[in-house]
Amino acid sequence: MRFSKPVGAALCAAGLLGIAGCPLQESRLTNQGGGNILSATGKIVSGTLSQLTPDEIQILADRVSTTLADLNNETEPVELSDEQAQVVADFFSQNNVGSVSDLNGLIAQAEEDPGSIVIPEGVTDLSDAGGFDEG
């Protein structure tokens, strides 16, 4: 079966919306550089975490938090504030965190020599806000 160009474009757009979610995001996710789940995932895959916008960090954190809330039978996922997302973006940029491997290396370095890396208070507060335990 062959579709006309407008019908094919509409089907393609509907498929992308189904994968990526609706582009009409709440203002909290569009006020600091923008982005969506596709752009954020692209930066993770391409090893450019330091280029994530605060909005993309919030989008990713929302997805993770919602999944964890579902798995733990919690009713409310935790949302990162604009300020928390900006702190994470700045931390990635200042520490040249490009890939997940870079981030793991930074974590290992901090564990081995805690004084070698300055972790901003906003980043350390995230573990409490997100309910992440160290053990």
Name the nearest CA neighbour of 130 among 66, 35, 42, 40: 66
Q: How far apart are CA 96 and CA 33, in angstroms?
A: 19
Q: How far apart are CA 119 and CA 40, in angstroms?
A: 23
> What does the chain come to in residues?
135
Per-residue pLDDT averaged across 40-65, rounded?
93
Q: Which domain holds residue 65?
A: 5-129
Question: pLDDT, tens digit, for every residue of 2-23?
Answer: 545 555 555 555 555 545 555 5
**How does the average pLDDT of the chain come out, rounded?**
78
123 lies in some domain: yes
Phi-psi region of 36 (alpha: psi -120 to 50; beta: other; left: phi over 0): beta
54 lies in some domain: yes
Instruction: Tally the domains of the chain.
Output: 1
24 lies in some domain: yes
Of residues 95 and 119, more confidently modeled? 95
Name the nearest CA neighbour of 91 among 107, 76, 75: 107
Q: How far apart are CA 53 and CA 40, in angstroms?
A: 8
Confidence label for 119 from pLDDT (cuts 50, 70 and 90) = confident
75 lies in some domain: yes
The predicted structure's pLDDT at residue 135: 40
14 lies in some domain: yes
135 lies in some domain: no
Phi-psi region of 96 (alpha: psi -120 to 50; beta: other; left: phi over 0): left
User: Does residue 57 register a pLDDT over 50?
Assistant: yes
110 lies in some domain: yes
The predicted structure's pLDDT at residue 134: 45
134 lies in some domain: no
